Every structure is written in C-alpha cells, then in structure tokens.
Amino acid sequence: MNRLITFEGSEGCGKTTQISLLKEKLETRGETVLVTREPGGTPLGEKIRHLLKDAPEGKGMTDATELLLFSASRAELVTKVIAPALKEGAWVLCDRFTDSTFVYQGIARELPIEFISTLNLFATGDLVPGLTLLLEVSPAKAAERMAHRATRDRIEDEEPEFFDIVREGFVTLAESEPDRIKRINADADPGTVAEIIWTHFLHAFPA
C-alpha cells in the first residue's frame, strides 16, 4: 500500500490541525513526512488556488472551469511533489485530494461522475491514496470553528444546503470504499480525534 494519506471533509472539519498532529507523531518515530495541500502545493498550483478561492477573476467561473482548475493543480502536485516524495519513501499527508473533486464537483455541482472518476485518474497517473481519513463535523461545530474568520472564499460563500450535500456526499463515498476511507467523528477535541486517527493509521500500516 502506498504512503499517501489524504484528509477529507467539509469546511472547518479540522484537517489542517490533524495533519500537523499526525506529522509530529510520525516524525517522533523517525519517519520522513511531507505535508501538502489541494488546491496548491506547487508554485503554479498556488496560483490556481488563488483563482479558485479569492481572485476577482474567479468569481462566476463555470462549474466546468472549476473542475478543470482543481484537476490542473492536482496534475502538477502529483507529478512534481507527491510522486517523487513517495518514491523516496516519505509519508505524504495531503489536505484534500481526488475525493474532494468527486464530492464537490461531482455530487454537489452535479457534473458527470463517470467523467470525474476518469479525470481524477488521469490527473494523478492512477494514484489512489493508501488511506483516506474523512473528518465528519456537525454543521454547528463547523460554524463555531469558522466564526473567527474575517473573510469567506468563493466556495465558502455557497448556501448552507450546498455543504449539507457535501457532507452527505462524503458519507456516501466512504460507504462505497470502506477499506480505504475511514469515517471519523471530528466533533471531539483535537487530541481525541488524533488518537482515533492514530488507531486507523496503525491498522492500515501495521509495523
């Protein structure tokens, strides 16, 4: 099984927090860890991230444009960062990956799912994560955690119903791939969530 571990979930579920806790834990065991994110993670990918989230030029982009920009960022990231790191034996912890495209663009934006599956494989050169951790947070907790943010990006500006569909979409996807995608109750405190993640890690990658 490859050492790519992806973190998924709706906004404010705590992915960034848990990635940094898992990184620390792996590094104390002497492991090499690369942390990256989508969209972004390369110089070109970070420009695409800006277009997707905050740039005025990105406002009102078509759903097809959005899908292709996420995929373009991913193709750069996998080829130039993730694949070389995996080849060198590092653990790669990635904040979002192909499952986000499947759920946000496929299920929530209702773009053709079959095409998205094909595009995901094309953009990644058929790379599928060894383990995916789906952090499930309730809408109330997510709102609480995001309340301190001064601004909202283009996607965060969607109606609450959009995020209900996203949350349900992730659950449906996880149920279809239970071996790879582990569902985690992310309403708990960060330490408790980290312990659950560690249990899944040890189960997926026994020493």
Site residues, ligand T5A (CB under 6 A): 11-17, 38-39, 70, 96, 100-101, 104-105, 145, 155, 186, 189-190, 193
Q: What is the 3-state secondary structure (H, E, C) of 94-156?
A: EECCHHHHHHHHHHHCCCCHHHHHHHHHHHHCCCCCCEEEEEECCHHHHHHHHCCCCCCCCCC
Spatial separation of the C-alpha atoms in residues 107 and 4, rounded to whole Å: 24
- Minimum CB separation of residue 70 from ligand T5A in Å reads 4
Work out the number of other CB atoms within 10 angstroms of the CB of residue 200: 16
Q: Which is nearer to ligand T5A, 73 or 201 (CB)?
A: 73
Q: Which is nearer to ligand T5A, 26 or 196 (CB)?
A: 196
Q: Which is nearer to ligand T5A, 51 or 193 (CB)?
A: 193
Q: Which is nearer to ligand T5A, 26 or 93 (CB)?
A: 93
- Minimum CB separation of residue 188 from ligand T5A in Å reads 6
Spatial separation of the C-alpha atoms in residues 143 and 191, rounded to whole Å: 20
Task: Name 44's Cβ contacts closer than 8 Å, sequence gap at least 6.
Answer: 73, 76
Q: Which is nearer to ligand T5A, 15 or 183 (CB)?
A: 15
- Minimum CB separation of residue 11 from ligand T5A in Å reads 4
- Minimum CB separation of residue 49 from ligand T5A in Å reads 8
Cα-only R_g, the chain: 16
- Minimum CB separation of residue 53 from ligand T5A in Å reads 6
